[in-house]
Amino acid sequence: MGDSFYPLLGNNGYDVIHYHIDLDVEPSENTIDAVTTLTAVATEDLEQFNLDFLGLEVSVVSVDGVEAEFSRDGQEMTIQPVEPLPSGAQFTVAVSYSGTPQTIEDPGVPVTLGWHSASGVIYTASQPSGAMTWYPNNNHPSDKATFTFQLTVPDSVTAAATGLLSEETSADGLTTTTWHMDDPMATYLAAVYIGDFERHEQRLADGLLIRDYVPRGSDASVRDSLAVAPEAIRFFEEILGPYPFDAYGTIVMPFPLGFALENQTLSIHGPNTIYPYVIAHEVVHQWMGDSVTADDWSQTWLHEGFAHYLSLMFFADLTGQELVAIMAEEHRELSVAGTSPPGAIEAHELFDFNTVYRRGALTLYALHTLVGDDLFFSIVRTHYDQTAGGNTNTDLFLGIVDDLAGSEAVSLVESWLYDPEMPGIVSGPTL
Ligand code: ARG
Ligand code: ZN
């Protein structure tokens, strides 16, 4: 698809509308028996097309119910339907596969990605490239789709997925649950989790469903620490507008993780990250990252800069600290550490905390300081409203800054994003 850092991710020629992911999982063996069915529309005449899929054993592929030829080469699966697909045609591709999904290394992150099995738990963590380890897809955030997950697991474990639970049936010691994600979702934000979890459900005053999963038998303190998520949702709704999805929740693993991840409607955390700042950070991502997703992996500052800045704003409010003091300290520490420009990162810096998160947040803070509350929040809200459910990029954001605040504001943001030297903090209106 031409991503700057991941040229092999995603494929042209079609647009996926829906994924139906049907997984029978044997957790004790870490094996799956699966059928993923994509519904897509051809955007050009197609004699063949590619999906991204790595590992596992594919037994059969069919297009519109007719068995099709396929070949595999690394992460590329090429499918040749019996009849070419004319541009504009809607079609379905069903891929049957089985085996043990593998994790993968990705140059953009220091952790393994994809399907993991550890200590009796299965979880997926896919940002950016890992989704292709457990279902075939068009693995780029610029092709979002709706999803259904159908998970069959032994009765002794609980399964969960990103989206709303709509059905649960049991037979012969197996339980099948069905989950719907009716809002567009990037492939990397789809997730499944299987293990001995307790589900805790509540409705907020406006009806929003919150469902959290914690390891069975967890201390009450684990659940208690998740209570900050609804507060964060309320706080960010004031800034960004109504929460974008049908539900939110946190799933806590029974072991520490080297990250937390904003899987759509159900963020994954380890017990080592269930603190207000990180919980709020993953909540911001539901708007900035999940509902609105950068259209190229070089643009992660748009996810992480917003998540870091707005969660520091929440943290300041929660703890009664001055945002100005927190940001001054961020700037001081970064000045000592040195940074690179967040708008011009390299492939290994996707989630570099100093460059992308902290200088990304300071970029937004510099804009906030220059233009003041009213204009800043109007820029942030206009950008979100114009891109919700879709994609964004830095130029699009700068266009809105230009329209609402003018060229001086654009130059300031550009210097924070692109200058090798980090600019100084200029004091402005009291925030
Ligand atoms: N977007 C994640 C966050 O909230 C980044 C975690 C890095 N790990 C990963 N697999 N992408 O900070
Ligand atoms: Zn983040």
More confident call, 394 vs 428: 394
Task: Say if ligand 1 is within 6 A of residue 308 CB.
Answer: no
CB 159 within 8 A of CB 197: no
Residue 427, pLDDT > 90, answer no
Of the chain, the percentage scoring pLDDT greater than 70 comes to 99
Q: What atom in ligand 1 is closest to the CA of residue 259? A: 6
Give residue 128's Cα distance to chain centre.
8
* Cα dihedral sign, 30-32-37-42: positive
Residue 44, pLDDT > 80, answer yes
- Give SS3 for 318: helix
Residue 130's pLDDT is 98
Quote the crossing angle between the two packed helices 407-418 and 359-387, to the nearest 10°.
130
Residue nearest to atom 11 of ligand 1 (CA): 127
Sheet holding 103-106, edge to edge: 103-106, 109-118, 121-125, 192-195, 158-161
Q: Is 323 exposed, middle or buried (0-12, 13-18, 19+ CB in 10 A)?
A: middle
With tokens 């010691």, the residue in question is 173
| Residue 282 Cα to ligand 2 middle (Å) | 6
| Residue 156 Cα to ligand 1 middle (Å) | 30
Residue nearest to atom 4 of ligand 1 (CA): 261
Cβ neighbours of 120 (radius 10 Å) = 15
Residue 430, pLDDT > 60, answer no
Task: Say if ligand 1 is within 6 A of residue 281 CB.
Answer: yes
Give residue 22's Cα distance to chain centre.
21
Which ligand sits nearest to residue 109's alpha carbon? Answer: 1
Residue 62's pLDDT is 98
DSSP assignment letter at 170: E
| Residue 285 Cα to ligand 2 middle (Å) | 7
Best mutation site among 113, 351, 357 for ligand 1 pocket (most ligand atoms within 8 Å of CB): 351
Residue 112's pLDDT is 96
What's the pTM value of the predicted model, to 2 decimals? 0.98
Which ligand sits nearest to residue 311's alpha carbon? Answer: 2
pLDDT category, 431, cuts 50, 70, 90?
Answer: low
Task: Say if ligand 1 is within 6 A of residue 259 CB.
Answer: yes
CA separation for the pair 388, 233 (Å, rounded): 16
CA separation for the pair 351, 364 (Å, rounded): 17
Q: What atom in ligand 1 is closest to the CA of residue 113? A: 10
pLDDT category, 166, cuts 50, 70, 90?
Answer: very high
| Residue 260 Cα to ligand 1 middle (Å) | 6
Task: Say if ligand 1 is within 6 A of residue 212 CB.
Answer: no
Residue 429, pLDDT > 80, answer no
Q: In one letter, which amino acid is 100?
A: T
**pLDDT tens digits for 314-338?**
999 999 999 999 999 999 999 999 9
CA separation for the pair 108, 304 (Å, rounded): 14
For range 368-397, the mean pLDDT: 97
Strand partners, 169: 176
Residue 298, pLDDT > 90, answer yes
Pairing of strands 66-67, 14-26: unpaired
Task: Say if ligand 1 is within 6 A of residue 262 CB.
Answer: yes
Q: Name the token pair of 108.
A: 């953009």
